[in-house]
Amino acid sequence: EAYSNCSASFSCGNFTGIGYPFWRNDQPDYCGHPGIKLDCQGERATIDINSQKYDIIEIYHDTQILKIAKADFMLNICPVSFINSILEFNLFEYTFSDQNASLLYNYDHLTEDHQPRLQEFTCPINNWSSNCYFTAPAISSNDEFSSRCKISLLIPVLAFAVERFTIYLWNFDQVIKEGFEVKWIIDQGPCNDCLISSGKCGYNRTINDFTCFCPYQP
């Protein structure tokens, strides 16, 4: 039954040919790693990492890299909750293509120019229209400007997008919507061997480890 219920590859959103360790929200939970479930809604594919939802922009199976962007920032730069992005470091790691940017919320007034480049926007905070800023590269939490903001968030972005923000004057929403990269650090070797033997890859939650479903199993 497990062999027939799990797919060697599947589609999700606009992506095709997706395989283990991923699994769809409409598949049995033994078809993929418990921390790498995809939610497939129409043309959209999302993944939850540490209870935060991310839109999937690209999947690079050969290098085990996901390009993702925080879902609430894709819709509105003024989030309902102000939470830093934190990875599940036993499943994912950042890549060398990533760099941090700062989102600075609820700043009373800007009195002087500040480097690196700042871009201002407004958010309704506590029923008031508050001045907020995006800056990249990120500034230190000890920076005077950062300390004068009520809320300061670090968000991962792509280094090439930071370059375009600082040199070519991209808007901050362009930078954020480019997303950032994470690498899943699950060993694909056992799954590759399983597929070669005509099996299908899955996960045994009893022993918390990879398992191979064979076509001849009862």
| pLDDT tens, residue by residue, 119-135 | 888 888 777 778 888 88
* Residues above pLDDT 70, as percent of the chain: 89
Label residue 186 by pLDDT band (50, 70, 90).
very high
Write the single-letter amino acid at 138: A
**What percent of the residues of the chain are helix, what percent strand, and what percent coil, each to the nearest 5?**
15, 40, 40
Strands 180-184, 92-94: pairing is antiparallel
Lowest mean pLDDT among 55-64, 107-116, 139-148: 107-116
As a whole number, mean pLDDT of residues 202-218 equals 88
pLDDT for the residue numbered 7: 81
Question: What's the mean per-residue pLDDT of the chain?
Answer: 87
Write the single-letter amino acid at 52: Q
Radius of gyration of the chain (CA): 21
Q: Which residues are 52's β-sheet partners?
A: 49
pLDDT for the residue numbered 200: 93
pLDDT for the residue numbered 122: 86
Give the predicted TM-score (pTM) of the model.
0.87
Which residues make Cβ contacts (< 8 Å) with residue 115, sequence separation at least 6? none
Q: Which residues are 18's β-sheet partners?
A: 10
Residue 148 pLDDT greater than 70, yes or no: no
Label residue 106 by pLDDT band (50, 70, 90).
confident
Cα(first)–Cα(last) distance of the chain, in Å?
Answer: 8
- Given a contact cutoff of 8 angstroms between Cβ atoms, the answer to whether 153 and 82 are in contact is yes
pLDDT for the residue numbered 64: 96
- Given a contact cutoff of 8 angstroms between Cβ atoms, the answer to whether 187 and 204 are in contact is no
Residue 138 pLDDT greater than 90, yes or no: no
pLDDT for the residue numbered 144: 59
Residue 91, CB-side half-sphere exposure with 13 Å CA sphere: 16
DSSP summary character for residue 139: P
As a whole number, mean pLDDT of residues 1-16 equals 89
Higher-pLDDT residue of 169 and 67 is: 67
Strands 180-184, 128-135: pairing is unpaired
Number of neighbours of residue 29 by Cβ within 10 angstroms: 13
Lowest mean pLDDT among 23-32, 76-85, 111-120, 154-163: 111-120
